[in-house]
Amino acid sequence: MARIELQSLAHAYKPDPQSPADYALRPMNMEWKDGGAYALLGPSGCGKTTLLNIISGLVTPSHGRVLFNGKDVTNLPPEARNIAQVFQFPVIYDTMTVFDNLAFPLRNRGWKGAEINKRVHQVAAMLDLSSDLRHRASGLSADAKQKISLGRGLVRPDVAAVLFDEPLTVIDPHLKWLLRRKLKEIHHELKLSLIYVTHDQVEALTFADQVVVMTQGEVVQAGSAQQLFEEPAHTFVGYFIGSPGMNLLPCRIENGGARLDAGLLPLSPAAQSALQGAQGEIKLGIRPEFVECGSVQQPGALPAVVQSVRNLGTHCLADFRLGAHAVSAKLRQCEARAGEQVWLSLPPQRTLYYVNDKRVA
C-alpha cells in the first residue's frame, strides 16, 4: 500500500494549452494516506477518469508529479506501479472457475497453493462468492461477474492502491446498496488504499472517508461527508451534494446586513468582517434542512410564497418563492398550501456566504 501525493498536477490533452478551459485537470496538490478510502466525485466530464488514469499510469500528466511513498512514479508505466484496477464492466476469464479467477493475480506473483487457498476463500467470503468458487464464471449473472472483478482487484494485499472506476454501474440497485456497505467493511478489514471514482454522491459518501469533489477539471473540496454537508467550500459542492442541494441566493452587503431581494438579514460580526470590501458576486447559501417556515412573522423572517409541498412520509419537501428566487426546505411537517404566503427564517448559524463561488463565512 502507498501514500499517494499529487504535486502541482495538471493535465491537458491538447499539446499547447492556452487557457484554463484547455485543461482536463487544473493544477492540484493532494496527499492521500496509506490505507485510506477516497472517492473522486463529480459530474460526467469533470476529469475523474483522467485523474485515475494518471495515478494508474495509463495517462502521463502534462504537468506535475505523482509520488508513491515519496518515490516519483510520474513516468512509470502501469505494470511498474503495482496497482489493481476495477472497471465499470467485468474483466474476468469466462472459461475459468471463480476460484481460478480470484487466484490468478496471486499465482502471477508467485504465491503458493495454501496461501492462495486461504486468501481466495477470505475474499470470496467477503463478497458472498464462497458457494460459487467451483463454478465457471461464464455461467454466472452480470452481478456475480462484477463481484469477481471486485474480488480480483482486492485479492492482492501488496498493491500500492486499488482503483475503482464506477464499479457498481452494472449492478442491480438492491445489490448495489449491499455492495457499497460491503466495500466499506472490506476496506476496514483488508486496510488497502482505495480510490473510487463515481458521479453518485450516495456511493461516494457511503464508501469513502474523504470525498474529493471535482467540477470542470478542478478539485473544489476534499472532505468528510459531514464537512461537505455542513461547510461546503464552494457553491458547486453545496449544490451537488444533498438532495435537493443547497439554496444559493444572490445578495449584497448593506448596513451591516445581507440584502436579499426579499429583505435584509443580520450578519454575525465574523461574517461582516469576512464580507467587508468583498469584490465580486456574493451569494448566501443555506441547506434545505435548515430553512424554517412559519405562518406568522418572526423577527428576521422573510415573506415567501409556497409553490408546492410534497409529503414524503419522513418529511415534507416544500418549494417557495422568496423574492425572485426559488428556495427549497425539508420540513418535519408543513400545513401550508401552494399560493399561501408564509415566513421563512434562515438561521444565521446555518447560513454561509460565498464570494465568486468560494466560501468566506
Ligand X SMILES: Nc1ncnc2c1ncn2[C@@H]1O[C@H](COP(=O)(O)OP(=O)(O)OP(=O)(O)O)[C@@H](O)[C@H]1O
* Site residues (vs ligand X, CB under 6 A): 13, 24, 42, 44-50, 199
Q: Which of 266, 276, 268 is nearest to 345 (CA)?
A: 266
How near is the Cβ of 213 to ligand X at its closest, in Å?
12
How near is the Cβ of 324 to ligand X at its closest, in Å?
33
Quick one: 217 or 242, whose CB is closer to ligand X? 217
Measure the CA–CA gap between 292 and 64, rounded to whole angstroms. 47
How near is the Cβ of 12 to ligand X at its closest, in Å?
9
How near is the Cβ of 52 to ligand X at its closest, in Å?
8
The b-or-e profile of 158-179 (16+ CB within 10 A means b, else e) is ebbbbbbbbbbeebeeebbeeb
- Residues 8/31, Cβ–Cβ less than 8 Å: no
The phi, psi pair for 149, rounded to 5°, reads -60, -45
Which residues neighbour 351 within 8 Å (Cβ) at sequence distance 6 or greater? 265, 271, 284, 285, 286, 290
Task: Specify the 3-state DSSP secondary structure of 221.
Answer: strand
Quick one: 217 or 238, whose CB is closer to ligand X? 217
How far apart are the two ends of the chain, measured CA to CA in Å?
38
How near is the Cβ of 9 to ligand X at its closest, in Å?
13
How near is the Cβ of 58 to ligand X at its closest, in Å?
10
Measure the CA–CA gap between 238 and 201, rounded to whole angstroms. 12
Measure the CA–CA gap between 59 and 51, rounded to whole angstroms. 9
Element (H, E) at 264: strand 263-266
How near is the Cβ of 226 to ligand X at its closest, in Å?
24
Alpha helices in 57-200 (DSSP H): 98-108, 113-126, 142-154, 173-190
Quick one: 219 or 329, whose CB is closer to ligand X? 219
How near is the Cβ of 224 to ligand X at its closest, in Å?
22
Counting other chains too, the contacts that 230-235 makes at CB distance below 8 Å and 24 or more residues apart are: 231/352, 231/359, 232/285, 232/352, 232/359, 233/358, 233/359, 234/354, 234/357, 234/358, 234/359, 235/283, 235/285, 235/354, 235/357
Element (H, E) at 11: strand 4-11
